[in-house]
Amino acid sequence: MVAAVVLWGSSAGLAKLLFQRDYTPLIITQTRPLFAFLILALWFAWRDRRVFRVERADVPRFVAVGVVGIAMTNFCYYYTVSEASVASAILIQYTAPALVMLYMVLVRREEQGSSIKVGALLLALLGCSLAVKGEGASLALPGWSIVTGPASAVFFSVMIVGSKRLLARYSQWTVMTYLFGIASIFWLILRPPWVVVAEGYKLYDWSVFLVFSLVSVLVPYSFFAYSLRRLEASAVGIVGTLEPIVAIVAAWAIVGETISPTQMFGAGLILAAVLVLQLRGSGAEIPEEHA
């Protein structure tokens, strides 16, 4: 899960760089799942077609998680990044662990609440806020980002919970292939291929989209799915709050932004929250033969 967070956090800064080079959030959002799906579909069509077998009754759930959890989460998050800032987008999206915990403990009753877990969540949220805001920086949400920011948190929660339920029945490769495929179809309906082609992207642009898809979707979601099969959904969300630390370090390394003492303290709180979870042993590991 930490590996997934490192890639997701780094890709936020890369996305901001792409937006500064006149790539739109729409083309980034559309090509991320598309390339990931094509790679998985071609590979398993050749190697193991059993990956494509799903129960008809589960198709609506795949569609819901693919459209809401993948397509809309990505769009709302990257739109917020483009209109506001990486800091604002990350801070708002990572209120999702609180939503996940409340849902899994109080609504679904599939997880047990505990003072340790609640304490870890509060530490993570406080650390996330301090790490992102630094020395009293304000977080502005101009225009439609005031809608897409909170929406990304809700949709991200749907992705965590929905993926968790699907992974209880299917392999991570089946889940990933279908979710990326459904998200791709959703965007192709809204923006058909001829519309994208008419925008005049060159071979270099498509290579950029391919690489970004690998580092921001295919590889990190593989790690994410592997972790989600073995950890409680709320624990995965809390570990995900490490992403602001990664984004801050990436900004420091790439564009020379400074890291304040407050941000360092916030990063320490997030690390403490993850350590508490690890010592608590919040795993929900499934037998390896079903992995």
* pLDDT tens column, 29-55: 899 999 999 999 999 999 999 999 999
Domain assignment present for 49: yes
Domain assignment present for 288: no
Domain assignment present for 169: yes
Residue 238: both structure tokens together: 């809390």
Domain that holds residue 103: 2-282
Domain assignment present for 290: no
For residue 287, is pLDDT > 50? no
Domain assignment present for 291: no
What's the structural domain count of the chain? 1
Which whole number is the average pLDDT over 177-202?
93
pLDDT in tens, 210-245: 999 999 999 999 999 999 888 888 778 777 777 777
Confidence of residue 64 (pLDDT cuts 50, 70, 90): very high
pTM: 0.81
Domain assignment present for 44: yes
DSSP secondary structure, the chain, as one string: -HHHHHHHHHHHHHHHHHHHTT--HHHHHHHHHHHHHHHHHHHHHHH-GGGG---GGGHHHHHHIIIIIIIIHHHHHHHHHHHS-HHHHHHHHTTHHHHHHHIIIIIS--S---HHHHHHHHHHHHHHHHHHHTTT------TTHHHHHHHHHHHHHHHHHHHHHHHTTS-HHHHHHHHHHHHHHHHHHHS-HHHHHTT---HHHHHHHHHHHIIIIIHHHHHHHHHHTTB-HHHHHHHGGGHHHHHHHHHHHHH-----HHHHHHHHHHHHHHHHHHHHT-B-PPPGGG-
Domain assignment present for 162: yes
Which whole number is the average pLDDT over 163-191?
94
The reported pLDDT for the residue numbered 264 is 73
Most confident of 27-31, 104-108, 114-118: 27-31
Domain assignment present for 76: yes
Which whole number is the average pLDDT over 102-126?
74
